[in-house]
Amino acid sequence: MDWINALLQGVMLGGLYALFAAGLSLIFGVMRLVNIAHGDLIVLAAYLAMVVVDLTGFHPLLSAILVVPLMAAIGYGLQRFLLNPTIGNDLLSPLLVTFGISVILQNGLLSGFTADSRRLAAGSIETASLELLPGLSIGVLPLLMFCVSVAIIFGLEWVFFRTSLGRAFRATSDDAEMAQVMVLDRGHVFGMAMALSAAVVAIAGIFLAIRTNFDPASGPARLIFGFEAVIIGGLGNLWGTLAGGIVLGVAQAIGAQISPGWQILAGHLVFFAVLAIRPRGLFPRMD
C-alpha cells in the first residue's frame, strides 16, 4: 500500500509540475522562445500572492483574483517592451534577454524581501485528506492542484483551437511574416501569448507558495522541473505536458520511496532516459 500511495502522490505532484510547464510550452509553441525567466516569474507570483494576502487578508487561493490579472499585465509588458524587439532569426538575443530578466527578478526580490524562506498558510486545506481505501488517502490540496492543472490545460487547448486569439497564435507561429502581411499585429499577438502564459504562472506561483517554502533563488529549480515536463511530454503538446509532469512526479515519488536522497535524482534520470530514447518526447505534436 505504501508504494500505491507513493504513486498516487506522484501523480498529484505531476499536476503542479504541469502547471509549471504549461506556460513554458505555450510560449515555445507560439514564439519558439525558451523563457529562462519562467521559474523566476513563478516565484514573483508567489511573492505577489504573499503581498496580496498580507494587505487584504484574503485566503491564499482567493489572492488569484488580483495576482492573475497583475501577472498577465506584467507578462504583456515584458513581451511588448523587452522581448519583441529581439525576436527574429537570431535565437540567442531573446534567450539573453530572458536570462537578464531572471537575474533582475532574483536580485529585485532579494532586495525587497531578503533571502528568508517564506510560505503561505492556507489553513485546514493543507492537511485535509480523503480516504480512498483503508490505508490509502489523498490530500485535498494536491487533488485540487491536479484538477486545476487539468482544467487550465483544457482551457488553453480550447483557446488555442477554438477562438480567434488561438487562430492568431497558430498563424503567427506558422509564419510570423505572412501573419503580419495578413494584418495581424505580431507584437500584440506575442504579447497576448506571454500574458496568457503569465496568468498560468500566477496560478502555479500561488500553489507553490502554499505547498512549500520559497525564496528569491527558488526560480531556477522551478524552471528545470517545468522544462523537464515539457521535454518528457513532447514539445508543443499541452496534454503531453500534463503527461510529462505526471511522469516526472511519479519518478520523484518512486525515488523518494527508495531513499529520500533519490527523489530529485530519479526525476532527472527519467528525463535523460526519455531524451535519449525519444528526443522529441513521449507525445510530440504532429505537424
Which three-class secondary structure state does DSSP give residue 90?
coil
Whether the pLDDT of residue 135 is over 80: the answer is: no
Q: How far apart are CA 160 and CA 154, in angstroms?
A: 10
Whether the pLDDT of residue 286 is over 60: the answer is: no
Closest CA to 44 of 214, 227, 230: 214
Whether the pLDDT of residue 285 is over 80: the answer is: no
Cα 190 to Cα 27, 44, 86, 166: the distances in Å are 8, 21, 12, 11
84-88, 178-182, 185-189, 256-260: which has the minimum mean pLDDT? 178-182
Mean predicted lDDT score pLDDT of the chain: 89
Query: Considering its fold, how many domains does the chain have in total?
Result: 1
Query: Given this model, what pLDDT does residue 12 score?
Result: 92
Query: Given this model, what pLDDT does residue 1 score?
Result: 63
> What cell numbers appear for 71 in the block?
501577472
At 136, the amino acid letter reads L
The answer to whether position 285 is within a domain reads: no
139: phi then psi, degrees, rounded to nearest 5: -70, 145
Helix (H) or strand (E) holding 133: strand 129-133
The answer to whether position 192 is within a domain reads: yes
Whether the pLDDT of residue 192 is over 80: the answer is: yes
Which three-class secondary structure state does DSSP give residue 120?
coil
Which three-class secondary structure state does DSSP give residue 237?
coil
* Digit-coded pLDDT (tens) for 204-241: 999 999 999 999 999 999 999 999 999 998 877 888 89
Range of the domain at 158: 2-113+137-277
Q: How far apart are CA 35 and CA 270, in angstroms?
A: 23
The CATH number of whichever domain residue 145 belongs to comes to: 1.10.3470
More confident position, 20 or 32: 20
The answer to whether position 287 is within a domain reads: no
Chain position carrying cell 532516459: 273
Q: How far apart are CA 9 and CA 277, in angstroms?
A: 26
Query: Given this model, what pLDDT does residue 49 score?
Result: 96
- CB 252, CB 266: distance < 8 Å: yes
More confident position, 187 or 210: 210
Whether the pLDDT of residue 165 is over 60: the answer is: yes
Which three-class secondary structure state does DSSP give residue 1?
coil
> What cell numbers appear for 186 in the block?
505580431
* Digit-coded pLDDT (tens) for 83-93: 988 887 677 88
The answer to whether position 153 is within a domain reads: yes
When pLDDT is averaged across residues 272-283 and rounded to a whole number, the result is: 88
Q: At what angle do helices 263-277 and 238-258 cross, to 10 degrees?
A: 130
Name, of 66-80, 81-95, 222-236, 248-262, the range with top average pLDDT. 66-80
Q: How far apart are CA 118 and CA 121, in angstroms?
A: 10
The answer to whether position 284 is within a domain reads: no
At 263, the amino acid letter reads Q
Helix (H) or strand (E) holding 123: none
Q: How far apart are CA 146 and CA 126, in angstroms?
A: 14
When pLDDT is averaged across residues 164-188 and rounded to a whole number, the result is: 77
For the chain, the C-alpha Rg in angstroms (whole number) is: 19
Chain position carrying cell 489523498: 138
22-31, 179-188, 213-222: which has the minimum mean pLDDT? 179-188
The answer to whether position 77 is within a domain reads: yes
The answer to whether position 200 is within a domain reads: yes
The answer to whether position 258 is within a domain reads: yes
* Digit-coded pLDDT (tens) for 96-132: 999 999 999 999 999 999 999 999 998 888 888 888 7
Whether the pLDDT of residue 133 is over 90: the answer is: no
Whether the pLDDT of residue 41 is over 70: the answer is: yes
